[in-house]
Structure 1
Amino acid sequence: MLNAALRASTSPSWSDRANAGRQLAAHADVPEVAEVLLRLLQDGHDTAVTQETAEALLRRRDLRGLRLVLVAFAGADVDTVDHLGDAILNVCLQSDEDQEYFEGLATVLASAAEPDEAARTEAAHLLREWNPRLA
């Protein structure tokens, strides 16, 4: 299944790429898969691929998924940023409990211990957006 999803990630069909993003999100801890996921998060041909992949990663409810989405934010164009933001809204902000949980993850990513500067910066921005008193 993993090899089939990796092949589908380069398909000309947006629905195949979106499906690949959903499937590959479960394997985000594999470095080669993480690279493919970042490409799908910034899909230049269809923002549905971006949003589907981001939502699948966020549904993992872990640092790796949120980190990948935030790193994609750092290098994304305006349209892609909108869809990444929609994915965060759709998954992270559905309830107070969800927001509190993802704030906890973002706090970890915003800390000096986070080695990825893009993730650290975007996590800090997200926390300020969710909680303006932190600004």
Structure 2
Amino acid sequence: MKYMLDTNICIGLIRQKPQKLIERLTQCEPGDVGVSSITIAELAHGAYKSNQIKQNLSALEQFLLPIEIADFDQRASVAYGFVRSYLEKEGKIIGSMDLLIGAHALSLDVVLVTNNVIEFQRIPKLIIEDWMG
């Protein structure tokens, strides 16, 4: 995996919008793109909150078929501890799910693809790309 997709990017891809995002994804090689298990949790939560649970869960399942899934492991947990303590000391805390996803990407030394750049740029050494902007 070279690129870890944030939740908002996954939602855009599932909805197939915007076209710029789809075009950028097609430039990637198989195996280059993945998601965190934390992102799957967020996407599943959104599906269960929706009025079309079955349809959205099915769309999520289809979306995930060709994508590498990275489990949140011990290395990611240690990165989370570092990132959270750093951001708390700096007074720059971000949302809990973003914190987990950002730490996971950092632990794998991959590029986090997101359009939530303002939040994630607070994480030191995290490489970010916005494929929607």
For the criterion TM > 0.5, the same-fold answer is no
More helix by share: 1
More strand by share: 2
Compare relative contact order (CA 8 Å, sep 6+) and give the higher one, 1 or 2.
2
